[in-house]
Amino acid sequence: MKLFAAVVLGLNLTAGMAVAGSIDSSGPPSSGSGMYSLSQIYDYLNSGTEATPIAGFQGPGLAPGSTMRTTKQIYDDLKAKYDLCPAAAVDVKSGVRFFSTVPGSWGIRTGTAQLIPTPTPTVTATPTATPLAGGEWALVPANPTIGTTTDFYVMKYEAKCSGAADGNCGNPGSYIPISQTANKPWHTISQTSAIDRCQALGTGYHLCTVKEVQTINRNIEAQTANWANGSIGSTVAAGGGLKRGNVGLTDSASYDGPDPDYEGAGTGSDRSSTSKAKLVLSNGQEIWDWSGNIGEYIYGEGTGGTIGTTGYVTWETGAWYEWSTSSLNEERPILGPSNSDWGTAQGMGEYYGGVSSNAFIRGGPSGYGAFAGCFGLYLNRGPSAADTSLGFRCCK
């Protein structure tokens, strides 16, 4: 009885409705109005195969064949591919739109990374003659990926002042820098004066640039001989780490020596057996005190060699950062380690932020401890700063 009542009620309601027009289709389906099959959708999402819809709607004539995919197959196959694409906004060039498959930021996103333009390699002939001025030098292999397209020279030792064994040269303009074992590093000199003193050596001599420094850094980190236990990526706690020399700590990668130290016989300490202060390049050349002993000015791309926006990056401000911090993703390719997981645990040193009008200072004074290292970088001093913790070395 309930079924009969429902049918009667439905008929009565229908009879009372006012119909404005025919509810029948005006004609057969138009061309292209059909639907895509699950297989076509799967092939497009999985391999990019474009599909053409059926000319008109058609109901299934047969049961699904062996080529049909289940929804589980579609989900599992697509998810496996999406999981291989974890890019975030900081990984994609600024302004470029991309599709993020990361949970929590799924969908169309816009990149924020200020990527370093890849230089066009124009490798010139390798210099064959050691520089005539400035003492002892190390030949550095070029790295076009970073931006050095020809081999160049760097002072083997931190710049010394031939007129003052204690490294305090008074009037900087009266002396020429020299790379030698004798005398303590030239200190209490501003970046402005360091730039001038390197140029005073002659044509082609200059305060080492950011690209030259990073070329040296990345070469050093790739040599097993520069890791305390011969294992790249090892930690100081495990008896390894990238050697950092005289930084005020006694461990596998460091030692606690005079402030600062030097390789002079007689009045100074003889470090001939202190291998923690010595780093080697892929060509066998040696560089001493690159990671510690005294902070070293380098030349940026801002006005007069200041930081500016070197590498098209607005450098992070603030205090200390581990190089593994995600906020340094833009800075790391320019003056940081190659591995985003490396930090003080591996002997890298730390980053200290600053404004664009300041100077780049790298390495680290002898009292900086774990903050010093091959990739130690400090942006908190202006180009006129001059004290016993600041020195330099030249390149050619």
Paired with 110 in beta bridges are 97
> In whole angstroms, what is the distance from residue 332 CA to residue 313 CA?
10
Residue 114 confidence (pLDDT) above 80: no
Q: Mean pLDDT over all residues of the chain?
A: 82
Longest dimension (CA), the chain: 118
> In whole angstroms, what is the distance from residue 264 CA to residue 255 CA?
17
* CA 388 to centroid of chain Cα atoms: 30
In this prediction, residue 15 carries a pLDDT of 45
Residue 199 confidence (pLDDT) above 50: yes
pTM greater than 0.95: no
pLDDT tier at 21 (50, 70, 90 boundaries)? low
Contacts from 112-117 at CB under 8 Å and sequence distance 24+?
113/89, 113/329, 113/330, 114/311, 114/312, 114/313, 114/314, 114/330, 115/312, 116/311, 116/312, 116/333, 116/334, 117/312
Q: Are 361 and 381 in contact (CB under 8 A)?
A: yes
Q: Is 214 helix (H, G, I), strand (E, B) or coil?
A: helix
pLDDT tier at 245 (50, 70, 90 boundaries)? very high
Sign of the CA dihedral with 160 first, then 334, 352, and 357 last? positive
pLDDT tier at 149 (50, 70, 90 boundaries)? very high
Higher pLDDT among residues 63 and 368, named by residue: 368
Higher pLDDT among residues 123 and 36, named by residue: 36
Residue 343 confidence (pLDDT) above 70: yes
Residue 122 confidence (pLDDT) above 70: no
In this prediction, residue 236 carries a pLDDT of 97
Q: Which of 243, 365, 245 is nearest to 295 (CA)?
A: 365
Per-residue exposure over 243-261, b if at least 16 CB sit within 10 Å of its own CB, e if not: bbbbbbbebbbbbebeebb
For residue 388, the number of C-alpha atoms closer than 13 Å in the C-beta half-sphere is 8
Average pLDDT over residues 229-251: 95
Least confident segment among 15-29, 94-108, 206-220, 382-396: 15-29
Residue pLDDT, tens place only, 41-93: 777 676 667 777 665 555 555 555 555 677 777 777 777 777 777 777 766 76
Domains of the chain in sequence order: 137-395 (3.90.1580)
